[in-house]
Chain A
Amino acid sequence: MILPLFIIIPLLSAFLIAIVSGKKDNFANGLSIISALLLLFGAIYNFITQNQEVIIYKIGNWDAPIGINLVQDSLTIFMLIIVGLISLTSLIYSRQYIRYISTDWKYYSLFMFLITGMNGVIITGDLFNLYVFMEIALLSTYALVAYGGKAEEFEASFKYAIMGIVSSTFILVGIAITYSATSTLTLAKIAEQIPHINTKIVYLVGGIFLMGFGLKAAIIPFHTWLPDAHSSAPAPISAMLSGVMIKVLGIYAIIRIFYNIFGAPEFFLNIFMILGVISILIAGFLAITQWDMKRLLAYSSISQIGYILLGLGIGSTLGILGAVFHIFNHAIFKSLLFYNAGSVEMTTETRDLKKMGNLKKLMPVTSKTSMIASLAISGIPPFNGFFSKLIIIIAAIQSGHPILAALAVIGSIQTLAALLKVQRFGFHSENKTEVTENKTSFGMKFAMITLAFLCFAGAILIIPGIREVTLDPIVEVIKNNGEYMNMVLGR
């Protein structure tokens, strides 16, 4: 599938939904599921046919420094597949769940704008273009977080919007300084110019970008908006936000800017490592103290982002492999956990773990899939989360940071404790609830079972033989960071 289609399909369906659908949401839901399917299959098709080449689409046939380029390499396809997969299951899940809030097409239209923004951020090869697509994704999430229409949701959305605007402004300042130093906005051209400009400017711009994108990725000193926004949003949106959004706008942008453009300066890698470990420990601790199920999961997201950042900061091949694998795994099990939380909330109409009770018998599918996801996220073999965490910890030891490895193990135990709390109080407690009817519908069960299956199946990505085709090219893109510039500029 040619690259602009990844932006055109969701954008077109967003407007079609707004124009065509009447009062009911049947058409909107059908159309959005079809376009999410198209995006997923397009991404998989591109993965099969790519042969580890970099494909460049020149908009209007203008060459790199003048026009805007769309770039596709292994990392791009990997992120596109994650976005396609999670948005597809999210939309299938939404069909029943959103009717419980309202029957309106606006939700699906905003959802499609969200996908447009994220796909745009992933495939663009231009710094300012990245900013514009980021704003498209952010604007639709501000609206989607407040979709339920309760007082807390508006509060969370306002807080999120203010934080988002501050970080976006800083990113724009960073872009302005980069432009004035290098006289170009194309990512590959900036990478070419970076060795020739003053190192102090690189550090200044790096600091500003770290603050801006760190806020989007919710790394610990910048995390305050995330627990509110992610716990107040409707469950499918929480899954999109926690599973995909913080990785695309935060981690993916950090990888592109700090690795492919700046060439991974040692100074920033050390900062990533320290921030990663701080995120793991503090967010892990805060997660244990929560009694709101979705809030607990939101804090756990911050700690898992810490693992990804730690793996990236170590900077060895093994560390980056673990980080990339953990991006995929976390997208799957955290989305699954949010779906579980959503169906529990729909049935019992509460998110408070103390008020839940013996849901194991009432909701067998939800209970079992959430058990699988909890084991996967806390790193119990044979699930996928075990392998990625193990790789990151081994990489930390190999690169001579045994203390960081030990702290990462402690963080894993914290995650296990937090998620066991959900299992113990949410699904297996003695406490009898008065709810007798399980409102989980077929679509919701389907989404949950698919992701639970992927928790098992995701582990095969790491088997030697499969790893060479799937994960290793991505590690190659991040590790050989000068290669991106040469490939895009056609050398």
Chain B
Amino acid sequence: MILYLLCFTLLLVGLYGILTKRDLIKIILSASIMGYATNLLLILFAYRNGSIFPILRKGVETMPMVDPLPQALVLTSIVIELGTTALLVALALKLFQKYKTYDITKIRKLSG
């Protein structure tokens, strides 16, 4: 249980960063932290205490195995996060070229 709580705390750390930080790069890092927390949660759900990797081998007795599906999901989600992070960094660079700052309180042409 304590592991799940720690994982949830990591998610909240990311959310806190997105909500309070004023630097574009720090916001992007916080978004990544949220992603890591989610991946960790998926892996935790797949874990069984005292189990082995999910490959059937000849001559070895079947033992309790971890669930392989969430591991596949995590791989997909890592790829998606890579794409979004790259796009966010590109946007942050473009914003820096236009406004000469990374501070979001100074990037305010839109309002209302």
Contacts and interface: CB of A to CB of B under 8 A. Distances in A.
Interface of A: 128, 132, 135, 139, 142-143, 146, 151-152, 154-159, 161-162, 165-166, 169, 172-173, 175-177, 179-180, 185, 227-228, 232, 286, 289-290, 292, 295
B94 A154 contact: yes
Contacts of A152: 109-110
A142 B91 contact: yes
A363 B37 CA distance: 54
Contacts of A155: 95, 107-110
A207 to B, nearest CB: 14
Given A151-B109, A152-B110, 4 more contacts: A161-B91, A165-B35, A227-B112, A295-B112
Nearest to B96: A154
B28 to A, nearest CB: 8
B15 A146 contact: no
Interface string B78-112: 00100110011001101100110000000111101
A282 to B, nearest CB: 13
A408 B98 CA distance: 43
Nearest to B24: A158
A131 B11 CA distance: 19
Nearest to B67: A183
17 contacts: A128-B73, A139-B84, A146-B94, A151-B109, A155-B110, A158-B92, A166-B34, A169-B11, A172-B38, A172-B42, A173-B41, A176-B42, A176-B70, A179-B73, A227-B112, A289-B112, A292-B112
Interface string B56-77: 0000000000000110010011
A229 B64 CA distance: 49
A126 to B, nearest CB: 11
Given A128-B73, A156-B110, A176 B45 contact: yes
A160 B106 CA distance: 18
Nearest to A135: B80
Interface string B5-20: 0000001001100100
A292 B111 CA distance: 11
Complex A-B, nearest 10 residue pairs according to Cβ-Cβ distance, in ascending order: A151-B98, A180-B45, A169-B34, A152-B109, A158-B91, A154-B94, A135-B80, A165-B31, A172-B38, A176-B42
B80 A132 contact: yes
Most chain B Cβ neighbours within 10 Å, of A157, A169, A185: A169
A132 B84 CA distance: 12
A177 B70 CA distance: 11
